């Protein structure tokens, strides 16, 4: 009888754990403006960067928003999202939390969201090529995120500032970006993976417009581009401010939702409903029955 009780409790625990897994997975990749530098400033005396710790209401934690940690564990998401991924840099507010919260606000029945942070500050597009550390980490983390269910909804991509320094890199940007998107889709087994990229608001060199034109000129299917040009920048004139990141997250949300069929149907909700019904009509009564008869045995 005790073994039956243990079995029922184990089933109940497994059902509860399953509800903590995200249904909708989004990859966050690129460099520092995707990782988030909102609210990060350099101390004028010692030159050390620090984050002001201010988290806008649009970026507050939500029980329905999870993030995949560096140790490949789903945890509740909070700013800074990339703290354990882009660990050699000081991270602040990025677009990810604003994006996820805006989706849940606009589509309350969307289901839980799992963010997979992969961005790394100061990286060029050539460093994201297939076979490199960043590419392999992105693929590995995404594949892990899918192991226990969930569906990749899109990749959010914001990168290119580092490729504005040398003319040869800027000229080669479009071809390298095309190749990266094609390779990633192939290795994830998702040839139509939705990709929403951000056209640069700034750069580290004089060839910003060449890279921007390459981004705006990408002509692959299911690749959208939103423009960050004109968004407020931190004093370094490279990184987006916290309010700018909030705005960017909402722009990314609009782009994502506009690409979906209307009305939105989230098939994965049926799995959670089935688990809840199973517990309500089968596991729950069985547990109560076992607890009732145990004292008499």
Token pair belonging to 233: 């920048």
pLDDT higher than threshold 80 for residue 75:
yes
| Residue 10 pLDDT class (50, 70, 90 cuts) | very low
Residue given tokens 């970026």 in the structure block: 59
pLDDT higher than threshold 70 for residue 296:
no
Query: Are the beta carbons of 65 and 74 closer than 8 angstroms?
Result: no
Contact partners, residue 86, CB within 8 Å, separation at least 6: 32, 35, 117, 119, 120, 121
Please tell me the predicted confidence (pLDDT) of residue 44.
67
Q: Report the C-alpha gap between 178 and 59 in whole angstroms.
A: 31
pLDDT higher than threshold 50 for residue 42:
yes
Query: Are the beta carbons of 253 and 106 closer than 8 angstroms?
Result: yes
Q: 239 catalytic, yes or no? A: yes
Q: Report the C-alpha gap between 32 and 287 in whole angstroms.
A: 51
Chain centroid to CA 270: how far?
Answer: 23
Residue 25: which H helix or E strand, with range? strand 24-30
Q: 126 catalytic, yes or no? A: no
Per annotation, catalytic residue among 32, 98, 124, 162: 32
Q: Report the C-alpha gap between 249 and 98 in whole angstroms.
A: 5
Specify the pTM. 0.83
Q: What's the Cα-to-Cα distance from 181 to each of 10, 96, 128, 129, 152, rounded to whole Å?
A: 42, 20, 10, 9, 15
pLDDT higher than threshold 50 for residue 14:
no
187-225 tens-digit pLDDT:
999 999 999 999 999 999 999 999 999 999 999 999 999
Which of left, alpha, beta for 36 (phi over 0: left; psi -120 to 50: alpha)? Answer: left
Token pair belonging to 66: 């999870």
pLDDT higher than threshold 50 for residue 282:
no
Which of left, alpha, beta for 176 (phi over 0: left; psi -120 to 50: alpha)? Answer: alpha
Per annotation, catalytic residue among 86, 163, 202, 239: 239
Query: Are the beta carbons of 217 and 179 closer than 8 angstroms?
Result: no
pLDDT higher than threshold 80 for residue 45:
no
Q: Report the C-alpha gap between 235 and 46 in whole angstroms.
A: 16
Per annotation, catalytic residue among 18, 50, 236, 259: 236
Q: Higher pLDDT residue, 282 or 217?
A: 217
107-128 tens-digit pLDDT:
999 999 999 999 999 999 999 9
Q: Report the C-alpha gap between 279 and 272 in whole angstroms.
A: 11
Please tell me the predicted confidence (pLDDT) of residue 8.
42
């Amino acid at each position: 009888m005790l073994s039956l009780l243990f079995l029922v409790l184990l089933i109940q625990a497994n059902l509860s754990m399953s509800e903590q897994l995200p249904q909708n997975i989004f990859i966050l990749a690129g460099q520092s403006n995707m990782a988030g530098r909102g609210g990060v400033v350099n101390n004028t005396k010692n030159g050390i960067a620090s984050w002001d710790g201010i988290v806008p209401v649009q970026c507050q934690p939500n029980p329905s928003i999870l993030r995949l940690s560096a140790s490949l564990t789903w945890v509740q998401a909070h700013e800074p999202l990339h703290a354990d991924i882009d660990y050699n840099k000081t991270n602040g507010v990025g677009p990810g939390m604003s994006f996820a919260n805006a989706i849940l606000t606009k589509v309350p029945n969307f289901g839980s969201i799992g963010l997979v942070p992969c961005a790394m500050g100061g990286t060029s597009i050539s460093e994201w090529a297939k076979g490199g550390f960043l590419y392999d980490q992105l693929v590995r983390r995404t594949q892990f995120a899918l192991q226990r269910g969930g569906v990749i909804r899109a990749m959010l991509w914001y990168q290119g500032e580092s490729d504005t320094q040398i003319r040869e890199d800027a000229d080669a940007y479009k071809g390298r970006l095309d190749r990266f998107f094609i390779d990633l889709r192939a290795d994830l087994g998702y040839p139509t993976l939705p990709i929403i990229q951000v056209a640069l608001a700034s750069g580290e060199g004089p060839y910003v417009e060449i890279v921007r034109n390459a981004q705006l000129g990408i002509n692959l299917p299911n690749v959208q581009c939103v423009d960050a040009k004109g968004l407020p920048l931190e004093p370094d004139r490279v990184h987006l401010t916290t309010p700018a990141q909030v705005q960017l997250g909402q722009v990314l949300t609009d782009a994502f939702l506009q690409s979906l069929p209307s009305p939105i149907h989230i098939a994965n909700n049926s799995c959670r409903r089935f688990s809840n019904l199973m517990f309500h009509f089968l596991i729950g009564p069985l547990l109560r029955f076992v607890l009732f008869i145990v004292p008499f045995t």
